[in-house]
A = this chain, B = another copy of it.
């Protein structure tokens, strides 16, 4: 019932103590629910706190407990639904354990990531979840780890450092989906990714991103197993804004030996690729087959619905958060580390090689062959 309008200074334990006629120490004990406090004192303090609308200053509390109950999350771009969903998994899990989340975007820029990590460390977050822009430039992550601050990686790994990482086995799913395309008769398969890199892609290039490396390796292995030549010339990295993706799409589809199938590395790219294909007047899957990573709801609404690699993104975010919290609370990591598997969701955007009937697919009918392909 105390209505004193706008007040400037916050109410502190000292104020409450004075109002309750007890020492600051006793008030703190009653409010913080620790130590020994008589019922009488507790009641008076609580009443005074209520009356004054006392609220503890978490900053001060953090100062001498050393715990901020805050975790830092560093992702490429929260606007990307992939990260939106992962973040949701993280925040939901964090909230359950009483943690808050500070979010920073890096736009997949390592410098921004280094900065983000430093800022979060300065703010004394209890731990970090990072989707590293690079799997190679990881000194800043190593430093975090060595300083003993809990850290969990998401989506991509970092070479060498023994960091807990939550990611799917990209090489395997990439192998499987490439195999699927191969079975449909495709040999000229393009791969388009936003990964920024200076080097031109070719066999053996160690790419900056474990995720993309693994995918390419999976593709390569599938081609090799099928005794086909891997079309390295159709790998397009450094895809940027919508316009550049359109151009890349045109390139791979209009060249001398054009792609008959296109794989989009994420949902954002997929959007522009499909649009470009439609603009070119090509039909999916009759003229060109299409496959993308991440299964968003809208992929079921296109005509035809799109064939995708579905990743348990929300669950991975949630798992990253609980792993981090385990670290923070000093508990050992989950006994058998949870594994996450991507699955190929076959819908309508992948068809048989246009122009000719499936060439030498006599050896095996399409989907059974795929279904039984056990990969180690």
Residue ranges of A at the interface with B (Cβ–Cβ < 8 Å): 5-8, 55-60, 62-63, 68, 70, 77-81, 84-85, 87-88, 91-92, 95, 100-105, 118-119, 121-124, 146-148, 268, 271-272, 274-275, 278, 296-298, 300-303, 314
Q: CB within 8 A of A102: which of B63, B100, B300? A: B100
Chain B contacts for A88, CB-based, 8 A: 77-79, 105
Task: Please state if A81 and B78 are interface contacts (CB–CB under 8 Å).
Answer: no
Task: Please state if B91 and A124 are interface contacts (CB–CB under 8 Å).
Answer: no
**Which residue of the partner chain B has the closest CB to A9?**
B66
Chain B contacts for A272, CB-based, 8 A: 297
Q: How far is the CB of A203 from chain B (nearest CB, A)?
A: 34
Q: CB within 8 A of A103: which of B58, B77, B101, B274? A: B101
Q: CB within 8 A of A84: which of B63, B70, B84, B91? A: B84
Chain B contacts for A148, CB-based, 8 A: 6-8
Give the complex CA separation of A145 and B229 in angstroms.
66
Number of copies: 2
Q: How far is the CB of A100 from chain B (nearest CB, A)?
A: 5
Give the complex CA separation of A314 and B105 in angstroms.
15
**Which residue of the partner chain B has the closest CB to A83?**
B84
**Which residue of the partner chain B has the closest CB to A87?**
B78
User: Do A58 and B300 contact each other (CB < 8 Å), given the known contacts A105-B91, A146-B5?
Assistant: no
Further 5 A-B residue pairs, CB within 8 A, beyond A79-B88, A275-B301: A59-B124, A70-B123, A78-B78, A79-B85, A278-B301
User: Do A59 and B68 contact each other (CB < 8 Å), given the known contacts A92-B105, A101-B102?
Assistant: yes
Chain B contacts for A5, CB-based, 8 A: 146
Task: Please state if A303 and B300 are interface contacts (CB–CB under 8 Å).
Answer: no
Q: CB within 8 A of A57: which of B77, B80, B124? A: B124
**Which residue of the partner chain B has the closest CB to A296?**
B298
Q: CB within 8 A of A6: which of B79, B146, B268, B298? A: B146
Q: How far is the CB of A8 from chain B (nearest CB, A)?
A: 7
Interface centre among A6, A7, A147, by most chain B C-beta atoms within 10 angstroms, is A147
Task: Please state if A59 and B62 are interface contacts (CB–CB under 8 Å).
Answer: yes
Chain B contacts for A105, CB-based, 8 A: 88, 91-92, 95
Q: How far is the CB of A267 from chain B (nearest CB, A)?
A: 9
Q: CB within 8 A of A300: which of B7, B275, B297? A: B275
Chain B contacts for A55, CB-based, 8 A: 118, 121-122
Give the complex CA separation of A271 and B81 in angstroms.
14
Q: How far is the CB of A276 from chain B (nearest CB, A)?
A: 11
| 9 A–B pairs (Cβ distance < 8 Å), ordered by A | A6-B148, A8-B148, A57-B124, A78-B78, A78-B87, A91-B105, A92-B105, A100-B102, A275-B297
Give the complex CA separation of A92 and B77 in angstroms.
10
Q: CB within 8 A of A301: which of B147, B298, B314? A: B298
Chain B contacts for A102, CB-based, 8 A: 70, 100-103
Task: Please state if B85 and A100 are interface contacts (CB–CB under 8 Å).
Answer: no
Q: How far is the CB of A141 from chain B (nearest CB, A)?
A: 15
User: Do A122 and B58 contact each other (CB < 8 Å), given the known contacts A78-B87, A147-B7?
Assistant: yes
Give the complex CA separation of A147 and B123 in angstroms.
25
Chain B contacts for A121, CB-based, 8 A: 55
Q: CB within 8 A of A81: which of B81, B100, B123? A: B81
Task: Please state if B63 and A60 are interface contacts (CB–CB under 8 Å).
Answer: yes
Give the complex CA separation of A104 and B70 in angstroms.
12
Give the complex CA separation of A101 and B104 in angstroms.
7
Chain B contacts for A103, CB-based, 8 A: 87, 91, 101-103
Task: Please state if A91 and B104 are interface contacts (CB–CB under 8 Å).
Answer: yes
